[in-house]
Amino acid sequence: MPASDNVKTASANRKAFHDYYIHERFEAGIELFGTEVKSIRQGAVNLKDSFCIVKDGELFIRGMHISPYEKGNIFNKDPMRIRRLLMHKREIRRLGARVQLEGYALVPLSVYFRGPRVKVEIALAKGKKLHDKRESEKFKDAAREMDKAIKERNR
C-alpha cells in the first residue's frame, strides 16, 4: 500500500502472507454500492478466503465478505457477491497472462480508504508448501529470540 497521510486501513488479509510468497503489489479501485461503503467504514469486511480472477478482460474479486449495513434495509446487497475491480486494461491483461502462464495467484492483501475512495491492494503471489510455511515460521522465531536476547543484554 503506497504511503500517504490520507490512508485508513479497513481490513487486512494477514493469512495471505502465511500462505503465499508475495511478488508484486498493485492498487485497484472497487465497484461498490453505498451501503457497502458504509459497512466498510465500520470495518465489517473480511478478506480471509478471497481471491481475484481475470474474466473477459475484467478483474473480479470473489469470496470477499462485506456484512450488510444495519440501517440499510432494502438497499443492502448480497454480502458474498462478486465485485469488479478497477484497473487499467493493459495491467489487467498483464496480470491475466502471468496468472495463466506462470502459475501465480491474485490475492487481495488489504482494503483501505484513500480519501473518500475505497481501494484494494492485490498481490501477484505464489503458494507456499507446508515445509515453506514451517521454514518461514522458524525464521520468525529465530529473529524474535535474537531481538529478545539483544534487549536483555542492553539492560
Of the pLDDT bands very low, low, confident and very high (cuts 50, 70, 90), residue 71 is: confident
What are the pLDDT digits (tens) for 17-28?
888 889 999 999
Say how far apart CA 91 and CA 93 lie, in whole Å: 5
Q: Whole-angstrom Cα distance, residue 59 to residue 122?
A: 11
pLDDT above 90 coverage of the chain, percent: 47
A 10 A CB-CB count for 62 gives: 14
Per-residue buried b or exposed e for 92-101, using 16+ beta carbons within 10 Å of the residue's own CB: beebbebbee
* DSSP type of residue 84: E
Q: What is the set of domains in the chain, with CATH numbers?
A: 7-128 (2.40.280.10)
pTM listed for this prediction: 0.78
pLDDT band with cut points at 50, 70 and 90 for residue 34:
confident
Q: How confident is the model at residue 111 (pLDDT cuts 50, 70, 90)?
A: very high
Sequence letter at residue 77 = K
DSSP 20: E
Q: Which amino acid is at 4?
A: S
